[in-house]
Amino acid sequence: MKVVYTPDSQMRRPGLLLRSMWRDLLDSRELAWRLFLRDFYARYRSSVLGIVWAFLPPVATGLVFIFLQARGVVRFGETGIPYPVYVLVGTVLWQLFTESINAPLTTVRASVSMISKVNFPREALIVSSLYQILLSLLIKVVILAGTFIYFKIPPIWGLAASGFAIFVLILLGLSIGLLLTPLGLLYSDVASSLVIVTQAWFFLTPVVYPAPKSFPFNLIANLNPVTPVLSTARDLMTIGTIAEPGAFAVVCVLAVVGLFAGWIFYRLAIPILLERMGA
Amino acid sequence: MPDLLIRAEGVSKKFCRRLRLSLWYGVLDMGHEIFARSAGPARLRKEEFWAVSDISFALRRGETIGLIGPNGAGKTTLLRMLNGLIKPDAGRIEISGRMQALIALGAGFNPILTGRENVYVNASVLGIPQAEVRRRFDDIVDFAEVDEFIDSPVQSYSSGMAVRLGFAVSAFMKPDILLVDEILAVGDEGFQMKCLNKIGELKRNGTGIILVSHNMHTISTYANSVLLLRKGRHDEYRNVSEGVREYRKMFLRKDDLETQKICSGNERIRFHRVDTNAESFLPGDTFVAKLHYESDEEIPDVEVDVAIYSSREPFLHFQATNKAYRRRMDLKKGRHSLEISVEQIRIHDAQARIAIAIWTNQRTELLFWWRIPALFHGMEHSTGNSYLNVTFREFPEDTSAVLHATDSFLS
């Protein structure tokens, strides 16, 4: 096997690029699992509350809105299902989405010293952050199950189908995160503004309120790519229907294309970033 | 397995002096990479400089190239390009074979986790299959000599222990190409010897090695040729000791070559001339200095201090006063001269200065202090700072007498 390094862009040989991407993805499986286990143990060994942190933030946000709604401070439209269920499902899904956005940049930043010294398949970091998100999903499922039982929401077939919508939600978040990672490694501004942007985005997405139907507020639903995915996942879980299958399909394609583009961008950018970041 | 492991042609890398600008260039470079723009002829942008420029060399099976040069000459940058961590800005690197880089030991170690857990993480990062690690786990722990600590968190390890554990994991790889970046600087002597033995073993098995070290003894022991990097250029030496000598010459300071007259007397005594017998010396030669002085009065029991040192090495080669030889010295009234000789010099390969100072008794007053440059030659096939008289003889079997029984310490 012969490897050649030249200053030329790897995009000039797309066949070779795709082949090495595929090979590195396969090669990174074991490492990704190891890194996931490492971070998992390290996190929970130095934490008292441990996995509670995986569901505490969305539950806290949800409780705030349940309280506001119950006291009549805010009045949202009809949600079709008990409002607490609507909100808790929404905030849990939203947190999953923001975790997916943040995961690549956080993981890669934490591994800078490792990447800058060892040439291992860079895909491993992304795959291990996907594992972390899946673990967090697993814990959240338990919380949601508890909520469903408490409010006596009957289990329906849509629950199984919602898994796919949740997966798309994760992919969408990961693709945004991947596209931001290269710039985020160079400039700390990216991580800082991400906090503000996701907060604003939270209110521009029908997480704690039902999607508005009238202009101009319906733009929130029509232009925001998260809306169809989040609404579809929640609707499938609770009432078993898809309100806007067309928009959902468009975002599915968007998520897959974005993920692939983000992957290529990330992969090509790492060697360039390493010389700028030093060892 | 191909014979030619690495071929580098005209490899260059530029860096930027300013951080803000450097980050912005990073954004531009990413744009070029994504939109598949041809790299074109490499030109320096504002505030950029060539950190590595136009390096060409070839590494073949079983060969070791010593990469030497002062700090900032681009050694580590070159290694990082060879390892594929960063891209060259000009030139071409061809790698044939499996490469291992001992640039960082214990990559991926998490201080909270135990040594055992970290061994698996580190091995994964290096691409060693878990099954292989499981099979060799005991060997790894033995090699690292950390048995009782293997289930303690790595943050409780000393830095030497962590490095030993990291090296033990790497040591089980059988790469075709090994890049070593000054890892031997850490760890105690026993560990360093283990590392060097490992490198020697790989070398015998045909691994091509690129060895970065500031220890010229290590370079002379293992390298077949030397690549000397300097700012802006590089030279390849097939003869290792010649390369090492060139490297050492770089650290010559200009004032090492001039006599420095710090003190030549006072109102009582004047030293007007110093004659020396030679300016350069072979091992075994004698250095003689004759100090001519004129004194207005007798100065009894002075202290004559002789020291030999070089600016390049942090340590003194030699220092002693006449008291060390139980020799009383008096400076007489009138015109006289004082002769100092250093007999049978054993200093090897150093551009040094011989400093002679004369103090009154109890060092209350400095009477004389000159630093005289002296070149001590290096001998072929010898490294180190001293050159001892070693003799080699052969005896027929029957006359052999046991001179002194010594345990083999290299077993």
Query: Does the distance separating the beta carbons of B113 and A38 come in below 8 Å?
Result: yes
Query: Does the distance separating the beta carbons of B113 and A119 come in below 8 Å?
Result: no
* Least CB–CB distance from B34: residue in A4, A39, A265: A265
Chain B residues with CB-CB distance to A27 below 8 A: 127
CATH number, position B31: 3.40.50
Instruction: Look at residue A50 and tell me whether its pLDDT is greater than 80.
Output: no
Structure tokens at A181: 């990672």
Q: Is residue B389 part of a domain?
A: no
Claim to verify: residue B307 and residue B356 sit in the same structural domain: yes
| Three-state secondary structure call for residue B81 | helix
Q: How far apart are CA B84 and CA B93, in angstroms?
A: 9
Claim to verify: residue B285 and residue B332 sit in the same structural domain: yes
Q: How far apart are CA A51 and CA A54, in angstroms?
A: 5
| Three-state secondary structure call for residue B162 | helix
| Candidates A1, A4, A6, A20, partner chain B, best to mutate (most B CBs within 10 A) | A6
Which of B197, B219, B250 terminates a domain? The answer is B250
Instruction: Look at residue B253 and tell me whether its pLDDT is greater than 70.
Output: no
Q: How far apart are CA A260 and CA B40, in angstroms?
A: 28
Query: Does the distance separating the beta carbons of A35 and B108 come in below 8 Å?
Result: yes
Which of B250, B285, B313 terminates a domain? The answer is B250
Tell me the mean pLDDT in the region B141-167.
Answer: 87
- Kindly indicate the confidence band of residue B185, based on its pLDDT and cuts at 50, 70 and 90: low
DSSP H/E element including B89: none
Lowest mean pLDDT among A84-93, B6-15, B39-48: B39-48
- Kindly indicate the confidence band of residue A84, based on its pLDDT and cuts at 50, 70 and 90: confident
Lowest mean pLDDT among B222-226, B349-353, B371-375: B349-353
Gap between the terminal Cα atoms of chain A = 28
- Give per-residue pLDDT as tens, B286-331: 999 999 999 999 999 999 999 998 765 556 788 899 999 999 999 9
Least Cα distance to B271 among B367, B356, B365 occurs for B367
DSSP H/E element including B76: helix B75-82
Size of interface A-B (CB pairs under 8 A): 149
- Give per-residue pLDDT as tens, A55-65: 788 888 888 88
Query: Does the distance separating the beta carbons of B38 and A118 come in below 8 Å?
Result: no
Instruction: Look at residue B196 and tell me whether its pLDDT is greater than 70.
Output: yes
Other CB atoms within 10 Å distance of the CB of residue A221:
21
Claim to verify: residue B360 and residue B289 sit in the same structural domain: yes
Tell me the mean pLDDT in the region B234-238.
Answer: 86
Q: How far is B160 from chain A (nearest CA, A)?
A: 19
Q: How far is B95 from chain A (nearest CA, A)?
A: 5
Domain containing A119 equals 24-277
Residue B6 confidence (pLDDT):
94
DSSP state letters, B11-29: EEEEEES-HHHHHHHHHHH
CB–CB of B290/B337 below 8 Å? yes
Claim to verify: residue B85 and residue B17 sit in the same structural domain: yes
Chain B residues with CB-CB distance to A15 below 8 A: none
DSSP H/E element including B79: helix B75-82
Cβ under 8 Å to B: A residues 1-40: 1-12, 27, 30-31, 34-35, 37-39
Claim to verify: residue B245 and residue B316 sit in the same structural domain: no
Q: Is residue A17 part of a domain?
A: no
Q: Domains in chain B: how many in total?
A: 2
- Give per-residue pLDDT as tens, A6-30: 888 888 888 999 999 999 999 899 8
Residue A198 confidence (pLDDT):
92
- Kindly indicate the confidence band of residue A211, based on its pLDDT and cuts at 50, 70 and 90: confident
A114 part of contact set with chain B, CB < 8 Å: yes
What are the helix (H) ranges across B100-151? 115-125, 130-144
Distances (CA, A) of A108 to A114, A266, B90, B155: 9, 10, 28, 22
Q: How far is A148 from chain B (nearest CA, A)?
A: 38
Single pTM value for the model: 0.79
Query: Does the distance separating the beta carbons of A272 and B36 come in below 8 Å?
Result: no
Instruction: Look at residue A222 and tell me whether its pLDDT is greater than 80.
Output: no
Q: How far apart are CA B320 and CA B305, in angstroms?
A: 6
Chain B residues with CB-CB distance to A178 below 8 A: none
Q: How far is B187 from chain A (nearest CA, A)?
A: 20
Q: Which residue of B has its CA nearest to A14?
A: B36
CATH number, position B360: 2.70.50.60
Q: Is residue A6 part of a domain?
A: no
Claim to verify: residue B369 and residue B262 sit in the same structural domain: yes
- Give per-residue pLDDT as tens, A243-268: 788 889 999 999 999 999 999 999 99
CB–CB of B276/B306 below 8 Å? no
- Give per-residue pLDDT as tens, A102-128: 999 999 998 988 888 889 999 999 999
What is the torsional sign of CA A248, A253, A256, A261?
A: negative
What are the helix (H) ranges across chain A? 14-27, 29-45, 52-70, 83-110, 112-115, 123-150, 158-186, 189-203, 219-223, 226-238, 245-277
- Give per-residue pLDDT as tens, B358-408: 999 888 899 999 989 888 888 888 877 788 989 999 888 765 555 555 555
Q: Which residue of B has its CA nearest to A111?
A: B108
A41 part of contact set with chain B, CB < 8 Å: yes
Claim to verify: residue B292 and residue B246 sit in the same structural domain: no
Residue B293 confidence (pLDDT):
94
Q: How far apart are CA B175 and CA B159, in angstroms?
A: 26
Structure tokens at B278: 């030679």
Strand B177-181 relative to strand B208-212, pairing: parallel
Instruction: Look at residue A279 and tell me whether its pLDDT is greater than 60.
Output: no
Q: Using CB atoms within 10 A of its CB, is residue B221 exposed (0-12), middle (13-18) or buried (19+)?
A: middle
- Give per-residue pLDDT as tens, B92-119: 999 999 898 887 787 778 888 889 999 9
Instruction: Look at residue A48 and tell me whether its pLDDT is greater than 70.
Output: yes
- Give per-residue pLDDT as tens, B115-151: 999 999 898 888 888 888 999 899 889 888 888 889 9
Q: Is residue A236 part of a domain?
A: yes
Q: Is residue B174 part of a domain?
A: no
B147 or A214, higher pLDDT: B147
Chain A residues with CB-CB distance to B95 below 8 A: 2-5
Q: What are the φ/ψ torsions at residue B367 (nearest 5 degrees)? A: -105, -30
Mean pLDDT of chain A: 87
Q: Which residues contact A23 (CB under 8 A, 6 or more apart)?
A: none
Claim to verify: residue B339 and residue B239 sit in the same structural domain: no
Q: Domains in chain A: how many in total?
A: 1
A179 part of contact set with chain B, CB < 8 Å: no
Q: Is residue B13 part of a domain?
A: yes
Domain containing B84 equals 1-98+227-250
What is the torsional sign of CA B254, B255, B256, B257?
A: positive
Claim to verify: residue B19 and residue B67 sit in the same structural domain: yes
Q: Which residue of A has its CA nearest to B38?
A: A8
B187 or A279, higher pLDDT: B187
- Give per-residue pLDDT as tens, A123-178: 999 999 999 999 989 888 888 888 888 888 887 877 888 889 999 999 999 999 99
DSSP H/E element including B335: strand B334-342
Claim to verify: residue B324 and residue B345 sit in the same structural domain: yes
Tell me the mean pLDDT in the region B281-286.
Answer: 91
Chain B residues with CB-CB distance to A12 below 8 A: 36, 38
Instruction: Look at residue A216 and tell me whether its pLDDT is greater than 80.
Output: no
Q: Which residue of A has its CA nearest to B116?
A: A38
* Least CB–CB distance from A31: residue in B84, B94, B124: B124
CB–CB of B316/B308 below 8 Å? yes
Residues linked to residue B209 through DSSP beta bridges, in sequence order: B64, B178
A249 or B230, higher pLDDT: A249
Chain B residues with CB-CB distance to A128 below 8 A: none
Residue B410 confidence (pLDDT):
47
Q: What are the φ/ψ torsions at residue B247 (nearest 5 degrees)? A: -60, -45
Q: How far apart are CA A105 and CA B170, in angstroms?
A: 28
* Least CB–CB distance from B104: residue in A38, A118, A265: A118
| Residue A154: cis peptide before it, omega within 30 degrees of 0 | no
Q: Is residue B84 part of a domain?
A: yes
Query: Does the distance separating the beta carbons of A12 and B117 come in below 8 Å?
Result: no
Residue A134 confidence (pLDDT):
93
